[in-house]
Amino acid sequence: MKYYRSHVLVCVDPECLGRGAHEIEDALQDELVAQGLIDEVQVLETSRIGACSDGPELMVYPEGVHYVGLSVDDIPYLVEEHFLKGRVVQKFLYTKPKFVDEELSAPTPKEVRVVLRNCGKIDPQNIEDYIAEDGYQALAKVLTEMTPEQVIEEIKRAGLRGRGGAGFPTGRKWELTRAAKGEPKYVICNADEGDPGAFMNRRVLEGDPHSVIEGMIIAAYAIGASQGYIYCRAEYPLAVSTLNIAIQQARNFGLLGKNILGTDFSFDLEVRQGAGAFVCGEETALIASIEGRRGEPRPRPPFPAQSGLWGKPTNINNVETYANVPQIILKGAEWFASMGTEKSKGTKTFALAGDLNHTGLIEVPFGITLREIVYDVGGGIRDGKAFKAIQTGGPMGGCLPADYLDLPVDYESLTAAGSIMGSGGMIVMDEDTCMVDIARFFMEFTQDESCGKCTPCRIGTRRILEILTRICEGKGQDGDIETLEYLCEQIRTNSLCGLGQGAPNPVASTLKHFRKEYEAHIYEKRCPAKVCRALIRYEILPEACTGCTVCARNCPVGAISGERRQVHVIDPDVCIRCGICMQVCNFNAVVIE
């Protein structure tokens, strides 16, 4: 048998053939003969190597060097350089396109990836990739070695709590649904991730859909359900299509459908899409939407565990909750419970946004402090500015000031501080943020998203928004703060669902922690952060102004006067505070007073 020191594999798939792969192969043979290397180097044909759009391509072993974009004229040079002189020809080297993940970068030392462990690492459209990462092993273990009661016990011992925000113990919920009377039972995955700034669930659905599906099948086995629904918001079209592909593949592999893994357990799944309604993230509204009705919440009790979808016992968990389940079964409750605090176990994903150096998705163990999240994981405040506030828990959450930076992140601590865990949005704000404006902004959202069924939420949020808008416009009155506090309390205690009960939170928390800013707006007609337009004044610094006339020429309302080479002046009565003069001034002479 003949031995070669090198093998050249030439791709001869139709695409490369069309670009002259055979000619390349012949030229290689001829050139190897010409340079006396034909006894040392063997040329073989192979199928697609992977970069055919840049073909013709070839692979040189044992080095594993991948060349693309060759023409016949390049071959003598290539053979001389690579095979005679032993130098890799950089010009033709195939370099994988660099992919920058703006959402999920490599974990920082304080992070632990459990839920996000596969995101960005496996092909979400290929079930075999998931199986190679121990996927569906937990399901096999559950179906062959554990009773439903043992599964529930394991989840209870792990201390897993609902990741949708409320933090209800998951094992307890499963137990209640299992014990409830009524058949059939349903499991639902709440993938209606509507909190602005929160996209952790989207990433899991798009990057690792099978972890959610596996968690749901295990839940279905534990509570005795045979049908499940994933309710996904329509704003996430890619998540919906990825889920549908994953479900079909799981069916083909016998992991969904009749007699899963050859046992007598049967379960199937369906994706239901929303049509744009924030309130559908509330579980009773979500159920109404799956039934084809307006997504309006109803009073609880009865809870869905007793009477849910079509009046039957229904278990609803969030995407992240389900994604934790297979890991708990595989690695054990002790492993899971070793992470976090006494009452909040495991990890939590957050979407970091706002004025940070590193925004995007993170996953950290419970108990980490806000300071660690902002400075160690988030890289600190952008442009060297000062930290002002962190908003946690989405639009029903609250804003916490710098005094709270050492607060440990867990369900109870955040609630005690006047905010909430929520589903995991975190917005960090720097010194240039006006807290009254932020409160108004969140009220605009909740007022708009209020479904209108109950009065405190429908009318109360509107009243709050009107008052806040007035304050931001410089028309705040004595007594506004007290009225806001009264409204907040009334809405919180009298609303039907979580949306209304949480809606006053952004106002209540900023009133508590940033009361001085409200007072400055109302009594001094001043916006300390210089954001609220009616309360700011643009002025030209006489010592910096060169009289270049640029500001006067760009002012859309002719509010600026002054002779060439003379100091210019802004007439505050005409000025509409658009800020154009400040943008166009080359001498930083325009300032906000």
Token couple for 408? 């440990």
Nearer to another protein, 87 or 293 (CB): 293
Nearest distance, CB of residue 353 and another protein, angstroms: 4
The candidate with the shortest Cα–Cα distance to 422, out of 451, 388, 398, 455, is: 398
Q: State whether the Cα torsion 253-255-256-262 is positive or negative.
A: positive
**Choice between 28 and 427, CB closer to another protein:** 427
Exposed e or buried b per residue across 83-107, where buried means at least 16 C-beta atoms within 10 angstroms of its C-beta: beeeeeeeebebeeeeeeeebbeee
Site for another protein in 335-354 (CB under 8 A): 351, 353-354
Q: Which is nearer to another protein, 232 or 491 (CB)?
A: 232
CB-nearer residue toward another protein: 236 or 265: 236
The nearer residue to another protein, 138 or 204, going by C-beta atoms, is 204
Distance CA 112, CA 103 (A): 16
Judged by CB under 8 A, the residue of 25, 154, 320, 355 near another protein is 355
Residue with Cβ nearer another protein (237 or 254): 237
**Interface positions, 173-212, toward another protein (CB under 8 A):** 193-199, 202
Considering only 73, 102, 145, 573, the residue that binds another protein (CB under 8 A) is 102
Q: Find the part of the chain contacting another protein (CB under 8 A) among 31-39, 121-129, 248-256, 290-298.
A: 290-298
Query: To which residue do tokens 């990739």 refer?
Result: 129
Can you tell me the distance from the alpha carbon of 169 to that of 175, in angstroms, rounded to the nearest whole number? 10
Confirm if 186 and 227 have CB atoms less than 8 A apart.
Answer: yes
DSSP 73: G
Cis peptide bond upstream of 56, omega within 30: yes
Cβ-based nearer residue to another protein, 87 or 358? 358
Core vs surface per residue 396-406: b (16+ CB within 10 A) or e: bbbbbbeebbe
Instruction: Kindly state whether residue 93 participates in binding another protein, applying the rule CB under 8 A.
Output: no
The interface region with another protein, picked from 90-98, 115-123, 253-261, 424-432 by CB under 8 A, is 424-432
What residues between 435 and 454 interact with another protein by CB under 8 A? 438, 441-442, 445, 449, 451
- Region binding another protein by CB under 8 A among candidate stretches 426-434, 457-465, 472-480, 536-544: 426-434
Specify the residue for token string 């002719």. 558
**Residue 375, CA atoms < 13 Å, CB-side half-sphere:** 11
CB of 278 to another protein, least distance (A): 6
Binding to another protein by CB under 8 A, coded x per residue (else -) over 296-325, reads x-----------------------------
Show the site string, 128-167: x = touches another protein by CB under 8 A, - = not: ----------------------------------------
**CA 514, chain centre distance (Å):** 28
Give the separation between CA 355 and CA 124, rounded to whole angstroms.
31
Chosen residue from 179, 275, 416, 544 binding another protein by CB under 8 A: 275
Closest CA to 378 of 99, 111, 100: 111
Query: How far does CA 428 lie from the centroid of its chain?
Result: 15
| C-alpha span between 491 and 438 (Å, rounded) | 19
Task: Answer yes or no whether residue 270 interacts with another protein by CB under 8 A.
Answer: no
**Total interface residues for another protein by CB under 8 A:** 46
Site string for another protein, 379-398 (x = CB under 8 A): ------------x---x---
Residues 162, 168: contact at Cβ < 8 Å?
yes
Distance CA 499, CA 279 (A): 7
> Which residue in 31, 109, 117 sits closest to 76, CA to CA?
31
Least distance in angstroms from the C-beta of 196 to another protein:
3
Is the Cβ of residue 139 or residue 204 nearer to another protein in the bound state?
A: 204
Question: To the nearest whole angstrom, how small is the minimum distance from the Cβ of residue 298 to another protein?
Answer: 15
Q: Which of 168, 174, 167, 169 is nearest to 152 (CA)?
A: 174
Give whichever of 6 and 349 is closer to another protein, judged by the CB atom: 349
Stretch that binds another protein, among 123-131, 245-253, 276-284, 415-423 (CB under 8 A): 276-284
One-letter amino acid of 29? Q
Q: What is the DSSP letter of 105?
A: -
Does 278 participate in binding another protein (rule CB under 8 A)?
Answer: yes
Query: Which span (55-63, 172-180, 230-238, 369-377) binds another protein, by CB under 8 A?
Result: 230-238
Query: Closest separation between CB of residue 78 and another protein, Å?
Result: 41
Structure tokens at 240: 């919906």
At 420, the amino acid letter reads I
Q: Which residues bind another protein (CB under 8 A)?
A: 102-103, 193-199, 202, 234-236, 272-278, 289-296, 351, 353-355, 359-360, 391, 395, 425, 427, 429, 433, 438, 441-442, 445, 449, 451
